[in-house]
């Protein structure tokens, strides 16, 4: 049981390049999330998907797009990478349960550097 | 605004001593509270949660947390720290206006010295 799998684990891009970060979960969860983690700022939500076919903006959506390909997969795309997007990106999933009483499960992250 | 505060960037404790990592919250209604731990180069791992009921919640790896409604706090505790407990700890609260979402604190680094 792999849980939440993110690919790639590391990536270096040049400013202006595009890239898609992949995430897949095998826990049959309805909700999936993309966060970025920066020093001293905790986790900030970029986008989330409450169910297959739906996506919504989080706290810091600018410069990103997402696709909920099916129930298992939720990808994050940087169309034109900028140095400010250098960060560690985490994907998470959850079965929200009754009013959000279930925890989120996280992948091990993608470490992205934009030069 | 709904928020979570972790007032200490770092907590240092000697192995074998009790540890406390502090968390306070500000949300509307009854809070759903969570603690997560992050080891180097890994994702966040769920430790424990408070939804309702007993104010003392027990979780993984010997950790527990005490919910205090009057002080709007949810401090993480462990009676006897281990060097292997050294990690980054995050407190989170469910967003009452969108229950699919969590609001995270900025994290507290716990350093346990031998």
pLDDT tens digits, B8-65: 999 999 999 999 999 999 998 889 999 999 999 999 999 999 998 899 999 999 999 9
CA distance A18 to chain B (A): 24
User: pLDDT band for position A2 (50/70/90)?
Assistant: confident
* A5 in reach of chain B (CB within 8 A): no
Candidates A6, A42, A56: best to mutate against B (most CBs of B within 10 A) is: A42
CA distance B109 to B21: 9
| Beta strand pairing call for A74-78 and A19-25 | antiparallel
Backbone angles phi, psi at A70, to 5 degrees: -165, -170
State the average pLDDT over residues A11-29. 96
* A96 in reach of chain B (CB within 8 A): yes
CA distance A109 to chain B (A): 6
CA distance A75 to A92: 11
- State what percent of residues in chain A have pLDDT above 90: 83
A113 CB neighbour count, 10 Å cutoff = 13
Amino acid A99: pLDDT: 67
Contact assignment for B44 to A58 by CB distance below 8 Å? no
Is A70 a residue whose pLDDT tops 90?
yes
Amino acid B102: pLDDT: 92
CA distance B61 to chain A (A): 17
CA distance A62 to A47: 10
Nearest CA in chain B to A32: B100
Query: Measured in whole angstroms, how far is the alpha carbon of residue B110 from the centre of its chain?
Result: 11
Using CB atoms, pick whichever of B45, B90, B99 lies closest to residue A96.
Answer: B99
What sign does the dihedral A102-B74-A4-B100 (CA atoms) show?
Answer: positive
CA distance B98 to B90: 20
Average pLDDT over chain A, rounded to whole?
93
CA distance B17 to B29: 35
CA distance A109 to A42: 14
User: pLDDT band for position A23 (50/70/90)?
Assistant: very high
Amino acid A102: pLDDT: 85
* A38 in reach of chain B (CB within 8 A): no
| Beta strand pairing call for B10-14 and B19-21 | unpaired
Amino acid A53: pLDDT: 87
Candidates A104, A108, A112: best to mutate against B (most CBs of B within 10 A) is: A104
Cis (ω within 30 of 0) for the bond into A63? Answer: no
State the average pLDDT over residues A15-24. 97
State the average pLDDT over residues A45-72. 94
Is A1 a residue whose pLDDT tops 80?
no
Choose between B47 and A39: higher pLDDT: B47
* A97 in reach of chain B (CB within 8 A): no
Amino acid A63: pLDDT: 95
CA distance A35 to chain B (A): 11
Query: Measured in whole angstroms, how far is the alpha carbon of residue B29 from the centre of its chain?
Result: 20
Q: Are B23 and B105 in contact (CB under 8 A)?
A: yes
């Amino acid at each position: 049981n792999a849980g939440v799998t993110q690919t790639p684990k590391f990536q270096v891009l040049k400013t202006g390049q595009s890239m898609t970060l992949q995430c897949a979960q095998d826990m049959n969860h309805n909700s999936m999330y993309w966060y970025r983690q920066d020093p001293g700022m905790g986790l900030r939500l970029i986008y989330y998907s409450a169910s297959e076919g739906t996506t919504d903006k989080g706290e810091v959506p600018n410069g990103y797009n997402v696709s909920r390909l099916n129930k298992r997969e939720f990808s994050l795309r940087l169309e034109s990478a900028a140095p400010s997007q250098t960060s560690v990106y985490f994907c998470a999933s959850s079965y929200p349960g009754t009013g959000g009483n279930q925890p989120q499960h996280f992948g091990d992250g993608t470490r992205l550097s934009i030069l | 605004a709904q928020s979570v505060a972790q007032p200490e960037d770092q907590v240092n404790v000697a192995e074998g001593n009790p540890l406390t990592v502090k968390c306070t919250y500000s949300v509307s209604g009854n809070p759903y509270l969570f603690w997560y731990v992050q080891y180097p180069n890994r994702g966040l791992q769920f430790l424990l949660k408070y939804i309702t009921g007993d104010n003392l919640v027990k979780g993984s790896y010997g950790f527990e947390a005490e919910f205090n409604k009057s002080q709007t706090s949810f401090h993480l505790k462990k009676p006897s720290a281990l060097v292997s407990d050294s990690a980054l700890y995050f407190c989170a609260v469910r967003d009452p206006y969108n229950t699919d979402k969590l609001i995270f604190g900025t994290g507290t680094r716990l350093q346990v010295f031998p």
